[in-house]
């Protein structure tokens, strides 16, 4: 339903044009020094209106803590974080409430909830809800950082442009992808921006691919047979709106090329290559967890499209006028990174590698 995770559990609530969006995080270890600034920084990466290539909607995305934090530390009680909605313009949605946008969730939500769903701005299906993943991911990252785990996501494709020449270390990828499209290949980034601007001028949208890498996840994490590392990550990724494909590692055509040979380095067993994407048998190998997700082109486009009036049962057409992203990939990057952090923390808690009380902060 609306909850993700087994031990680090997130429940999302709110709607795009309702009073607020928010997340309740259950199972967060107690004794975590709560870094509000880092949560806001992460939210700012996802926020709309950051540049001319994303939606010009003005959403401040300032969050508030409602519970679970006391004297600056997590208490072990559910943590509730919310963002109040301030700038919604719902009029246009009232006008076309019976005409589902092709490619969006309007029609399926109408059927699933018998027409009682909040259709304004996509309601609970809006990309706005992904701010909640970002808040939960920022909390997860605070804990993972203590265990040396670092996660980065970056754009590897937009439209027909691939990012080919990007650095291999997480730090460098993070630095070099600090641009409008979140792409670590500067030349490709320029072409991506051109394609987005072209799509915008044609009242269309384009999609792309985001790669995510998590380093220093210890070997032995994962709950096979069913709750594999790949399975848990993929399930969570498909809970991000517009994600349509998840692919782990770099599968090669021959076994001899695909197998990652085991080696010993600095007294540790590791693999020489990482075609597996950091998991074998659904359990981490100790190599970086590496996967890619394909993000579809946003469905809300100003071009005229065919649809139907579900009340009148008649064919009609619509143009989605409003402030929509010509490409949601750059804004999906921090969301992918955050959701990955939540799943990795969940699996580490399940493996017993991270305790329920963070020991270095334990009070007498």
Ligand X SMILES: Cc1cc2nc3c(=O)[nH]c(=O)nc-3n(C[C@H](O)[C@H](O)[C@H](O)COP(=O)(O)O)c2cc1C
CB of 206 to ligand X, least distance (A): 12
**Residue selected from 143, 149, 217, 242 as contacting ligand X according to rule CB under 6 A:** 242
Interaction mask 67-106, ligand X, x per CB under 6 A? -------------------------------------xx-
CB of 193 to ligand X, least distance (A): 18
Q: Which is nearer to ligand X, 240 or 345 (by Cβ)?
A: 240
Q: How far is the CB of 106 from ligand X (least distance, A)?
A: 9
Backbone angles phi, psi at 236, to 5 degrees: -65, -40
State in angstroms the smallest separation of the CB of 11 from ligand X: 18
Q: Assess 299 for contact with ligand X (CB under 6 A).
A: yes
Q: Per-residue x/- mask for ligand X, residues 313 to 332, rule CB under 6 A?
A: -----------xx--x--xx
Under the binding rule (CB under 6 A), the answer on residue 130 touching ligand X is yes
- In terms of Cβ atoms closer than 10 Å to its own Cβ (0-12, 13-18, 19+), residue 78 is middle
Nearer to ligand X, 339 or 358 (CB): 339
The rounded distance, in Å, linking the Cα atoms of 129 and 46 is 11
Does residue 123 interact with ligand X by CB under 6 A? no
Residue 125 interacts with ligand X (CB under 6 A): yes or no: yes
Distances, alpha carbon 162 to alpha carbons 90, 157, 184, 187, 273, in Å? 37, 4, 11, 10, 22
Taking the C-alpha atoms of residue 4 and residue 233, their distance in angstroms, rounded to an integer, is 11
Specify whether the CB–CB gap between 98 and 309 falls below 8 A.
Answer: yes
Q: Is the link from the previous residue into 37 a cis peptide, with omega within 30 of 0?
A: no
Residues touching ligand X, count (CB under 6 A): 21
β partners of residue 223:
227
Any idea what the Cα angle at residue 180 is, between residues 179 and 181, rounded to 5°? Answer: 95
In contact, 233 and 291? CB cutoff 8 Å: yes
Q: Is 335 in the site for ligand X (CB under 6 A)?
A: yes
Applying CB under 6 A, which part among 71-79, 126-134, 247-255, 272-280 lies near ligand X? 126-134
- Binding to ligand X (CB under 6 A) within 41-60 occurs at 55
Residues 6+ apart with CB under 8 A from 288: 213, 214, 215, 217, 274, 278
């Amino acid at each position: 339903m609306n909850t993700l995770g087994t031990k680090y559990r997130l429940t999302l609530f709110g709607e795009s044009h309702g009073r607020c969006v928010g997340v309740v995080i259950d199972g967060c270890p107690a004794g975590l020094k709560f870094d509000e600034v880092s949560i806001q920084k992460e939210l700012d990466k996802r926020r709309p209106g950051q540049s001319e290539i994303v939606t010009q909607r003005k959403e401040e995305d300032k969050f508030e803590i409602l519970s679970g934090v006391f004297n600056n530390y997590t208490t072990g009680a559910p943590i509730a974080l919310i963002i109040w909605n301030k700038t919604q313009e719902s009029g246009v949605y009232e006008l076309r409430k019976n005409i589902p946008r092709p490619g969006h969730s309007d029609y399926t939500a109408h059927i699933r909830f018998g027409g009682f769903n909040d259709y304004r701005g996509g309601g609970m299906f809006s990309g706005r809800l992904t701010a909640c993943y970002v808040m939960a991911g920022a909390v997860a990252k605070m804990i993972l950082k203590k265990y040396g785990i670092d996660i980065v996501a970056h754009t590897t494709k937009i439209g027909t442009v691939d990012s080919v020449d990007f650095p291999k270390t997480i730090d460098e990828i993070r630095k070099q992808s600090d641009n409008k499209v979140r792409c670590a290949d500067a030349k490709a980034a320029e072409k991506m921006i051109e394609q987005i601007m072209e799509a915008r001028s044609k009242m269309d949208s384009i999609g792309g691919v985001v790669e995510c890498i998590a380093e220093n996840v210890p070997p032995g994490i994962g709950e096979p047979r069913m709750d594999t590392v790949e399975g848990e990550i993929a399930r969570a990724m498909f809970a991000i709106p517009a994600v349509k494909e998840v692919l782990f590692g770099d599968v090669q055509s021959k076994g001899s090329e695909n197998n990652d040979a085991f080696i010993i380095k600095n007294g540790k067993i590791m693999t020489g290559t990482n075609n597996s994407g950091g998991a074998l048998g659904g359990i981490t190998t100790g190599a970086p967890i590496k996967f890619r997700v394909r993000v579809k082109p946003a469905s809300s486009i100003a071009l005229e499209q065919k649809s139907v009036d579900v009340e009148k049962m008649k064919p009609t057409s619509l143009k989605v006028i409003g402030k929509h992203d010509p490409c949601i990939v750059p804004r999906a990057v921090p969301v992918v990174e955050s959701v990955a952090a939540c799943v990795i923390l969940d699996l580490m808690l399940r493996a017993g590698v991270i305790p329920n009380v963070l020991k270095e902060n334990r009070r007498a």
